[in-house]
Structure 1
Amino acid sequence: METRNLINGVWRSPESGRTIAVDDPATGEILAEVPEATAADVRDAIVAAAAALPGWRARTADDRGAVLRRFAGLVSERSAELAELIAREGGKPIGEARGEVAYGRSFLAWAAEEATRVYGETVPSWHEGKRVLVLRQPVGVTASITPWNFPLAMITRKLGPALAAGCTQVVKPAPQTPLTALELGRLAVEAGVPAGVVNVVTAPGPDFAAAVFADARVRKVSFTGSTEVGRQLIERSAGNVTRLSLELGGHAPVIVFDDADLDAAVAGVLRAKFRNNGQSCIAANRIYVQRGIREEFTAAFDAAVGALRVGGTLSEAVDVGPLIDGAALRKVRAHVDDAVARGARLLRGGSPCGPGGRFFEPTVLDGVTDDMLIFNEETFGPVAALAAFDTEEEALRRANASPFGLAAYVFSRDLGRVVRAAEALEYGVVGVNDGAPSTGQAPFGGMKLSGYGREGGRYVMHEYLETKYVSLAL
């Protein structure tokens, strides 16, 4: 496994000589040491990306697409190794890790086709002696800052369309999960991505941001992470008016109406809540159940949570693995303790468990109220918080009361109600009778404090392209 940084097609050790230890959240075992890159290393990567830009954007869209198809093919061929790497460094159960590899590959495959669909326009002119042309051109050097919870898919979702558009990129993975990113860099080189087009630098966030936003050659940054850091990046972007895409914090509501298919609702909410151990930006954080179905749903859901199996991430039998670190565990416990202290009923779980010190029992809380921490902060852990509601209007009002707007879920068999809810919810993604709405073909992103910009499908291509108007006098 390569653990040095990829800069200009060369695997390099950091200028500082310092390293970052990467551990397995399930066992605490140190898996590898990766470079603690400096701002100087990041600047070298930017120089490499800028030098590679003219040649890469000059290649035909078909050529760029062919490289991306080879890249996607290698991800498929190495899917078993990649899944194990994701599971070991990120604590994701192996079955879900395999799903992430397939999901991540889909962004490369889709981008390969979108490369050939970047169209300009000829607009009818009001002047017989002029022609109006609209060109779509790559924005230039780009950078991506990615999170630990989806260490492969969050990179390919940014990198694929950037390369398809003719841009180059400097990738900064999260310090908890850099090994997957470095392996992706190796596969990119193997696929024929030219030197400097893709660079992977394991630098601390402040050093990376300082170098990227100080350099006018970097014209676009895509970030997935917290709203707090997103605000800081917005401020930093002002200096060079750097374009941003921001997928920030979420606080997803789920509305289960009393006409929902009970089995489908239980299965959908279970998936929306406990996927990746609850460590997902679109994880269900507030589960509102209409009073007419409340008792039946709660009993069935609680039983389903009780059947979830906790354990080491490489076991096929495991549904819920460890949390990423001690801070995550403490936050989950604080949310549970606060809810119970304020009157919520603990139906199941509520405590750390298992080996390694980072496991938390799958937990169900009932009778949660809107003033409790868990209904106001993103939990990022395996805790389901339930509350009752009476009317459609009440449910939508409470769901929209959050300042966040990334994802929401609705379970109902009433078509009119589904349409009303989907239109009224102030969220960028709405899953209707679907606990796993993310897909490579569709736009993904948030509203309000959950950020702006979209990733996925054809929509993401706009994020990496400039629109140029040419007035041609004959």
Structure 2
Amino acid sequence: MTQYPSLHMIIDGERVSGAGQRTHAVVNPANGETIGELPLAEAADLDRALEVAARGFRIWRESTPQQRAAVLQGAARLMMERQEDLARIATMEEGKTLPEARIEVLMNVGLFNFYAGEVFRIYGRTLVRPAGQRSTITHEPVGPVAAFAPWNFPLGNPGRKLGAPIAAGCSVILKAAEETPASALGVLQCLLDAGLPKEVAQAVFGVPDEVSRHLLGSPVIRKLSFTGSTVVGKHLARLATDNMLRTTMELGGHGPVLIFGDADVDKALDTMAASKYRNAGQVCVSPTRFIVEENVFERFRDGFAERVGRIKVGNGLEDGSQMGPMANARRPEAMNRLIGDAVTRGARLHTGGERIGNAGYFYAPTVLSEVPLDAAIMNEEPFGPVAMINPFGGEEAMIAEANRLPYGLAAYAWTESASRQKRLAREIESGMIGLNSTMIGGADSPFGGVKWSGHGAEDGPEGVLACMVTKAVHEG
């Protein structure tokens, strides 16, 4: 059985306990018990990390594609070898089921292997000019990156934040979530053990506002990469403007799912019910607002509630658990507030709507229908195990509802009409759209949103280029 490891920061390859005495209690969400004490950074720790990152950038920007590829491929191999330990630690910290955590390791493996190939495909171009003249366009690493990762994918988010800068030739200071530190440290350790120079990547933890202000206020940092809520993202973006930092922002979502009368309803039900409650709904691209054409509304609503009622909730480490607890004490409280408001306003509660037990942060998978559009849950990202199912009268109204909110991260639609699929692809305002599928991501495709869901992209070639600047050189 994997034991929860001791906690630390990593600065200049050293395991650092911090300059001060402040710590953060890491809690197992399955039982609410403290499993570790995480040292929090003081200003001196952050200054040291910045100094090391500046040196690391000077080292790594000169690395060859072969060197970068070797590190990324080596880290991928080590993650495969350590998959079970990494997955168990992630489940202890965040609560998700062990099979989900294992898949998260594989996500990192695929991404690192893709980036290992992408380092050889960072192409420039030469422009046609009169004889004796030449213009070339090149891509260069942007510089040290401050990367902030949330708790919901404790392995995958740090993997994204570390992989792209390292592939691009940047150094990086990772500030992962204090709720899930050991997972992030495990990913970084794979990179260091695979030969990444110790100066290139650091991991710090601390009071979030203190750390963000300190790092983003430093002239060392040249780029901000953030995944998290829209509210925090807007705050960090304002801080980043003082030094005109480049930014990649992957923010909140409120995923619409359009179900048309010509859809394969049974397939849609089987697929979407499973997807909705993955990681207890704590997924930025989670399908959330089900926008159902009137002629199949009752069939879809009843079939969805029936499937959700069979989901087995339990400790993510236990065999057979299909949904684990929510990640922290704040999330069940948020569910009670949002669901209670919706029911008070007239929404129908079909299943769930309450906590399970009095140990840990378990919450029953919940289905609401006929939810008024002015209910808070129809306008705020719920980030939990709740689906809202409403009837709508045709394509135009359904598209309007999908686009009503300022979010635009992920959207889904189910229809057998090829012409409608083309219209939806064009008219839905979202960075990613799944048509008759929930597969909207991959190592080789960009991941990101529009409107309040952020800008820029991770993964794919775009993820590497987001950590680079373009330079034009004109020779006479």
TM-score scaled by length of structure 2 = 0.97
- Superposed CA deviations along residues 345-400 of structure 1, whole A, max 9, x for unmatched, are 11111111135141111111111121111111111111111100111000000110
Find out whether 1:58 has 2:62 as its counterpart.
yes
For 1:40 and 1:211, the matched residues in 2 are separated by 10
2:274 is aligned to 271
2:257 is aligned to 254
Contact 1:124 1:131 in 2 (8 A): yes
Counterpart of 2:350, as a letter, is L
1:78 is aligned to 82
Query: Which is further off, 138-147 or 325-334?
Result: 325-334
Find out whether 1:356 has 2:362 as its counterpart.
no
Find out whether 1:391 has 2:394 as its counterpart.
yes
Find out whether 1:376 has 2:389 as its counterpart.
no
- Superposed CA deviations along residues 266-314 of structure 1, whole A, max 9, x for unmatched, are 1222133111101111112211111111121122211110110011110
Find out whether 1:28 has 2:25 as its counterpart.
no
Other structure's SS at 1:187 match: helix
1:110 is aligned to 114
Query: Which is further off, 293-302 or 445-454?
Result: 293-302
Contact 2:342 2:376 in 1 (8 A): yes
1:407 is aligned to 410
Contact 1:65 1:112 in 2 (8 A): yes
For 2:473 and 2:333, the matched residues in 1 are separated by 57
Structure 1, unaligned runs of 5 or more = none
Contact 1:110 1:440 in 2 (8 A): yes
In the TM superposition, residue 129 of structure 1 has moved relative to its aligned partner by 2.3
Q: Report matched runs for 1:204-283 at 5 Å.
A: 204-283=207-286
Q: Report matched runs for 1:338-353 at 5 Å.
A: 338-353=341-356
Contact 1:272 1:436 in 2 (8 A): no
Other structure's SS at 2:359 match: helix
Contact 1:39 1:203 in 2 (8 A): no
For 1:106 and 1:35, the matched residues in 2 are separated by 31
Counterpart of 1:231, as a letter, is K
Structure 2, unaligned runs of 5 or more = none
Find out whether 1:324 has 2:342 as its counterpart.
no
Aligned length: 472
2:23 is aligned to 19
Other structure's SS at 1:27 match: coil
Equivalent residue in structure 2 for 1:418, among 412, 417, 421: 421
For 1:231 and 1:299, the matched residues in 2 are separated by 39
Equivalent residue in structure 2 for 1:47, among 40, 48, 51: 51
Equivalent residue in structure 1 for 2:13, among 9, 25, 47: 9
Find out whether 1:97 has 2:131 as its counterpart.
no
Contact 1:285 1:374 in 2 (8 A): no
2:197 is aligned to 194
For 1:384 and 1:122, the matched residues in 2 are separated by 52
In the TM superposition, residue 424 of structure 1 has moved relative to its aligned partner by 0.5
Query: Which is further off, 144-153 or 210-219?
Result: 210-219
In the TM superposition, residue 10 of structure 1 has moved relative to its aligned partner by 1.0
In the TM superposition, residue 436 of structure 1 has moved relative to its aligned partner by 3.8
Other structure's SS at 2:382 match: coil
Other structure's SS at 1:52 match: helix
For 1:428 and 1:40, the matched residues in 2 are separated by 39
Find out whether 1:431 has 2:421 as its counterpart.
no
In the TM superposition, residue 464 of structure 1 has moved relative to its aligned partner by 0.8
Other structure's SS at 2:350 match: strand
For 1:319 and 1:272, the matched residues in 2 are separated by 11
Other structure's SS at 2:459 match: coil
In the TM superposition, residue 17 of structure 1 has moved relative to its aligned partner by 2.2
Other structure's SS at 2:321 match: coil
TM-score scaled by length of structure 1 = 0.97
Query: Which is further off, 65-74 or 262-271?
Result: 262-271
Contact 1:42 1:203 in 2 (8 A): no
For 1:232 and 1:445, the matched residues in 2 are separated by 19
- Superposed CA deviations along residues 171-225 of structure 1, whole A, max 9, x for unmatched, are 0011111110112222222111111111011122112111211111211110001
Contact 2:413 2:435 in 1 (8 A): yes
Q: CA RMSD in A?
A: 1.2
2:179 is aligned to 176
Contact 2:46 2:214 in 1 (8 A): yes
Other structure's SS at 1:218 match: coil
In the TM superposition, residue 459 of structure 1 has moved relative to its aligned partner by 1.2
Structure 1 stretches of 4+ with a deviation exceeding 6 A read: none
For 1:213 and 1:161, the matched residues in 2 are separated by 19
Contact 2:138 2:472 in 1 (8 A): yes
Contact 2:146 2:224 in 1 (8 A): yes
Other structure's SS at 1:354 match: coil
Counterpart of 2:447, as a letter, is F
